[in-house]
Amino acid sequence: MNMLIMGAPGAGKGTFSRLLREELNLNHISTGDIFRENISKGTPLGLEAKSYTEQGKLVPDSVTNKMVKDYLENLTDKKNGYLLDGYPRTIDQAKAFEEMTKGTDLAVDTVLVMDVPFEELTRRITGRRSCPKCGEIYNIYSNPPKVEGVCDHDGTALTQRKDDNEESLKTRLDEYSKNTEPVIGYYDEKGLVSHVDALGDKDEIWTRIKKVLNI
Ligand code: AMP
């Protein structure tokens, strides 16, 4: 299965990508995670992306498309396909991605869209914390760790993303409405989209996802 997971910031893409990649043995590619990793290592790509991501703006398409292309070209173990989280986020990226994968076994076959009302997203985003070591995602309101501030799995101190504040969130939501929602329409026309109601607790949402994907 070659799947895209889409939804507004805070819709739960990261959380459910982690479950889906285990369940289906997929390569999980998160463009946001790749940017954050490059920023923390201070690579040239990181330096280019830093000011955009910190303000909640999209990194230019040319940079992002090249990064995804390089990633796919270097993918040696294709597993059962991929789960692409956070890409494509503009119509131009969707077209570039189609070009990159045309005639290969990497063409998209499923697009999962996580639907959450915009009012809920601020609470999710400002409450989000994650483990820098294993990547587990928590929420201080709805899914707190057993001991405040530390990861249940490895005891590492949890961190908050720099762009998880109300100001960047506003820009991120604007970017989403303006640039990313049309991408859902683009794939809808190809008959590839399944929507899931992503409000509720984690187990409930997971059951719904498995149902819509038939897994
Ligand atoms: P995310 O972790 O998916 O919320 O992404 C965090 C940030 O990384 C975004 O706010 C953008 O600045 C950047 N980013 C991630 N994916 C893309 C993309 N496909 N196109 C442009 N910028 C992106």
By alpha-carbon position, which residue is closest to atom 14 of ligand 1? 32
3-state SS track over the chain: CCEEEECCCCCCHHHHHHHHHHHHCCEEEEHHHHHHHHHHHCCHHHHHHHHHHHHCCCCCHHHHHHHHHHHHHCCCCCCCCEEEECCCCCHHHHHHHHHHHCCCCCCCCEEEEEECCHHHHHHHHHHEEECCCCCCEEECCCECCCCCCECCCCCCECECCCCCCHHHHHHHHHHHHHHHHHHHHHHHCCCCEEEEECCCCHHHHHHHHHHHHCC
Which CATH number belongs to the domain containing residue 137 in this structure?
Answer: 3.40.50.300
Residue from 54, 58, 93, 174 to probe ligand 1 pocket by mutation (most atoms less than 8 Å from CB): 58
Residues having CB within 6 Å of any atom of ligand 1:
9, 31-32, 35, 52-53, 56-59, 64, 86-87, 89, 93, 163, 172
Distance in Å, CA 58 to ligand 1 centroid: 6
Q: Could you give the number of structural domains in the chain?
A: 1
- Which residue type is seen at 54? E
Q: Which pLDDT score, from 0 to 100, does residue 138 have? A: 94
Q: Which pLDDT score, from 0 to 100, does residue 62 have? A: 96
- Positions annotated as catalytic residues are 13, 89, 128, 161, 172
Distance in Å, CA 76 to ligand 1 centroid: 24
Distance in Å, CA 13 to ligand 1 centroid: 12
pTM over 0.75: yes
Q: Mean pLDDT in each 10-residue stretch from start to end of the chain (215 residues)?
A: 96 95 96 94 95 95 95 91 97 97 94 93 92 94 94 97 90 96 98 97 96 96
By alpha-carbon position, which residue is closest to atom 10 of ligand 1? 56
Q: Which pLDDT score, from 0 to 100, does residue 177 have? A: 96
**Domain range for 56:** 2-213
Contacts of 80 (CB under 8 A, 6+ apart): 1, 24, 25, 26
By alpha-carbon position, which residue is closest to atom 8 of ligand 1? 32
